[in-house]
A and B are shown apart, each in its own frame.
Chain A
Amino acid sequence: MHDKIIRVFILFGFATVVFAEEKPELPPFHHIVGVKPSKAIEVPEKFKLGEQGELICATCHGLKDIDKTSVEKVDKNSVDFLIGGSYRRITGFCYRCHDEEKTQRDNIHVMLDSQGEIKKKNCTFCHEEVPDRDKKLESSELKLRVSMQKICYGCHLKDPHFNSVEHQVKPAQKEMLERIHKHSKELNILVPLSEKEEVICISCHTPHQYGVIDPEKPAGNQVVIEDLEKGIEYEEHPWNEVFSADKDARLQAFNQLHNMNVQFSYQRITQEALLRLPAKDGQLCLVCHDFKD
């Protein structure tokens, strides 16, 4: 009987934790309201300010009483939800008012200066203290500001490219986990997984510029890129025509259904960035994936 009662309490406790995990508390507003924009900010006419010229929720979201509407009921597809949207990049919305050049931040992944010296400030975006690069550190010694699986979300979205969300799961088969460990050793690379052994952003991507960590070490072994500021580079490829034809009918159906104009194209990657192994020749994929034939 005691067992049953304890089980009920455990279930209750577990449900509370799960519930809390699913619905984390967020700050009431993600942008300041109730203040008048400074002179440095140019608010376009379409963005209606409050009666006193102050920023209100409707300035950016147009919708009436949005602050009194629950998140689930807000129509995010409304034309007014992001005034003038949709935007190719979400930051395009911010730059409607804020000056792009003055407000955009440096690429924190560019960690080495022109002399090859480390920019310590960049480390502290993710680490509470600058880690000792010469030591082999346990994950707890890295002193990350948030857990490894969430640290990228401070700047990046969870779904920046196709297949990203689909990869952020625990490998479906035990063999896959074994393969990851085996290949990590054989290829002398680090493939960090979450505490629950899930694949996370940094399982494939390394946040560090080439050379920040000794390339001989698994944590520093990665794709070499000369100019990280340039980022990924592509080249035109005749396959694009075939690729577009393959997707055409399905995209047309999708676009009709959602009244959108999504198009896919294919370009071959010529330069990769911040990857633990090259993906353009499939090496990275085969760390986890294997096929019978």
Chain B
Amino acid sequence: MRWIIYSLLLSLSMVCVAAEQPFIPTVPGQEKQSQDPKDNKKEATWWEKRDQRSDIYYPHKVHYEVMKEEGDSCLLCHAFQKNDEHDETKRKPLNTVANEPLEAICHDCHVTELRGPWRCNLCHDDPKKIWPADHNSGYIQNHQEDSKQDTAICETCHLDQKFCTNCHFRRDTLNRSYHPLNYINRHGLEARMMPANCAQCHNSFYCQDCHNQ
């Protein structure tokens, strides 16, 4: 009897090995799982990876119209130009470079020429992924020095001074960041002592609006 069991077990294991599948009882719900190791090892192509990217968003259809107006098409970004490199290990990375437009191409219309909408978050869903590291902790409170030294650096992202004036000139809020509450009623002394400080943000018309009434 023992020999019969041994031979049955032996036959069973041989069949499993021959079929290249481990004898694993099927668990309900796992039937459709791929048994092909190639499926698991297959590296995602660049266009599959594109869908996983969260640092950039490019709506293709939105660009159809402007492409048509300009006389361009998909080929503007996805180059189908002649390939002289036939060694696959080199052709593949070159193909990726040819295919993937980066900052210069997008920014030419959206930043340099301002021919397209230029809000950063239109394409970059999370500003933290594109802004400088020093913006991560309380930069809004400490940006004064940088903004005085080199506005050009700020303007690489903040394309016009609306970004500044939206905060600095706004008068629809009791924001205490710039003047303490009720400052309008006691600003006279400081205005006489250090008028240059006021002039950093306000021009003479700003004063005249009230004082000429």
Contacts and interface: CB of A to CB of B under 8 A. Distances in A.
A and B, one complex? Answer: yes
A247 B78 CA distance: 12
B46 to A, nearest CB: 9
Interface in B88-128: 90-91, 93-95, 97-99, 101-105, 108
A7 B15 CA distance: 10
Contacts of A86: 84
Interface string B182-195: 00000000000000
Contacts of A88: 84
Interface residues of B, number: 43
A250 B101 CA distance: 11
B90 A162 contact: no
Interface string A228-272: 000000000001001101111011001000101010111011000
Given A163-B99, A251-B97, A281 B83 contact: no
Contact of A266 (B18, B79, B94, B95): B79
Dominant SS among interface residues on chain B? helix
B68 interface: yes
B60 interface: yes
Given A76-B87, A159-B91, A243 B105 contact: yes
B19 interface: yes
B62 interface: yes
A77 interface: yes
Contact of B78 (A4, A163, A165, A264): A163
A157 interface: yes
A11 interface: yes
A164 interface: yes
A11 B99 contact: no
A279 interface: yes
Contacts of A165: 91, 95
A77 B94 contact: no
Given A159-B91, A163-B98, A264-B81, 6 more contacts: A160-B83, A161-B82, A163-B99, A247-B98, A265-B81, A291-B61
A8 B90 CA distance: 39
Contact of B97 (A254, A269, A285, A293): A254
Interface of A: 1, 4, 7-8, 11, 76-77, 86, 88-89, 157, 159-166, 172, 239, 242-243, 245-248, 250-251, 254, 258, 260, 262, 264-266, 268-269, 279-282, 285, 289, 291-293
28 contacts: A4-B19, A11-B19, A11-B20, A76-B87, A159-B91, A161-B83, A162-B79, A162-B80, A163-B98, A164-B83, A165-B95, A166-B95, A242-B104, A246-B101, A246-B102, A246-B104, A247-B97, A254-B93, A266-B76, A279-B74, A279-B75, A280-B73, A281-B73, A282-B75, A291-B59, A291-B60, A291-B61, A293-B62
A186 B148 CA distance: 61
Contact of A163 (B18, B67, B68, B80): B80
